[in-house]
Amino acid sequence: MYPKNAWYVACMPEEIDDKPLGRTVCGEALVLYRGPEGKAAALENFCPHRGAPLSLGAVIEGKLVCGYHGLEMGCDGKTVAMPGQRVRGFPVIRTYPTIERYGFVWVWPGDPAQADAAKLHHLAWAESPDWTYGGGLFHVNCDYRLMIDNLMDLTHETYVHATTIGQREIDETPTKTVTEGDTVITSRHMENVMAPSFWRMALRGNHLADDVPVDRWQICRFTPPSHVLIEVGVAHAGNGGYNADAKFKASSIVVDFITPETESSIWYFWGMARNFNPHDKPLTASIREGQHKIFSEDLEMLESQQRNLAAQPGRQLLKLNIDSGGVQSRRVLERIIAQEQAAAPAALSA
């Protein structure tokens, strides 16, 4: 169960620069490509002629040309032309509203009439020259909510990421979780601790001593449908922590866009946005590499957890205080999904 009337990240822009891309989002098999003037477009991945996947075709002058018999598809789902055929009566295929912004291609897998660019999550850092971003994509065989749980409870860092970002003090420092409208915020502030290896690297990257005590923070923000943005950072201890002057700290935003593929698999777009040394490309690469290693460590755990839960579907799990972030996020999702389902019959009869 996932909201369908929402903007999800469908792909990174470069994935469709050279050729169409087949990708399933929220159970919808899509072909993503660049139509006229390079504008990102999404259609159902099904040629109306004989059902071939349009993603095996090519984009020629902004038209998606089926790789089987040359049907030329427009980004409105209407066939433009086909060699030797009149195409006026051809059935129209489904289109999906698409926006390219903030360095991602977003798609609306639900009711197109409700798609509204204004509903797109605003990402200030993605439009600021003072910030830079590096990230990647994983396919993970788990329910998207397991990944939300994972990111809204960072105590797992101590165990899953022991050698990089984990440290004992995470466990020892309680979190505070609040829901503000549709947003859920879980925050943790550790004071006067030694930075773990990933953060020592970031301190050095920001020309700061890495062998002195720091204040460390983690502020996880869930917003529907499945975005988790986490403000993380360290500041030399005693300078105000999260509110310290920039010259004392290395901070960034962990970016997690979780796109359900099916009920039990996701496309996980992960990365880090930072505003220190934004032009230092080797630093971007080294942070990206570090994150790749760290986030890889979650995959086996999440996929095993998924299999365990699927084998015992009725089994109750604990909801501890550390789970509040995930629990409250699921509550927001349940409300949104229920609203969507209540509205659906009306939408269908309209």
281 token code pair: 């490309």
Which residues sit opposite 26 in a β-bridge?
A: none
Contacts with 92 (C-beta within 8 Å, 6 or more apart), sequence order: 48, 76, 77, 78
Restricted to residues 32-61, the positions that interact with its own copies (CB under 8 A) are: 45-46, 48-53, 56-57
Q: Which of 64, 254, 322, 332 binds its own copies (CB under 8 A)?
A: 322
| Pattern 242-271, its own copies, x by CB under 8 A | ------------------------------
Q: Does residue 277 touch its own copies according to CB under 8 A? A: no
**Minimum CB separation from its own copies for residue 16, in Å?**
18
Rank residues 11 and 160 by Cβ distance to its own copies and give the closer one.
160
CB of 214 to its own copies, least distance (A): 21
Query: Nearer to its own copies by C-beta: 174 or 181?
Result: 174
Q: What is the DSSP secondary-structure string of 268-315?
A: EEEEEEE-SSTT-HHHHHHHHHHHHHHHHHHHHHHHHHHHHHHHSTT-
| Cα atoms in the Cβ-side hemisphere of radius 13 Å centred on 236 | 14
Query: Hey, which residues between 93 and 152 contact its own copies (CB under 8 A)?
Result: 149
Residue 340 binding its own copies, by CB under 8 A: no
What residue type is 16 in one-letter code? I
Instruction: Based on the shown chain and the rule CB under 8 A, indicate whether residue 308 belongs to the binding site for its own copies.
Output: yes
Residue of 17, 38, 76, 85 interacting with its own copies (CB under 8 A): 85
Name the residue nearer to its own copies (CB basis): 91 or 129.
91
How far apart CA 276 and CA 215 sit, in angstroms, is: 17
| Least spacing, CB of residue 160 vs its own copies, in Å | 7
CA distances to 18, 126, 196, 221, 238 from 275, in Å:
31, 11, 20, 19, 21
Contact 251, 287 (CB under 8 A): no
For residue 278, give both structure tokens: 């934004």
Number of residues that bind its own copies (CB under 8 A): 49
For the bound state, the minimum distance from the C-beta of residue 139 to its own copies, rounded and expressed in Å, comes to: 17
Q: What is the DSSP string of 189-225?
A: EEEEE---HHHHHHHHHTT--SSS-EEEEEEEEEETT
> Which stretches of the chain bind its own copies, using CB under 8 A?
29, 45-46, 48-53, 56-57, 65-70, 82-85, 90-91, 149, 153, 155-156, 158-160, 171-172, 174, 300-301, 304-305, 308-309, 311-312, 315-318, 320-323
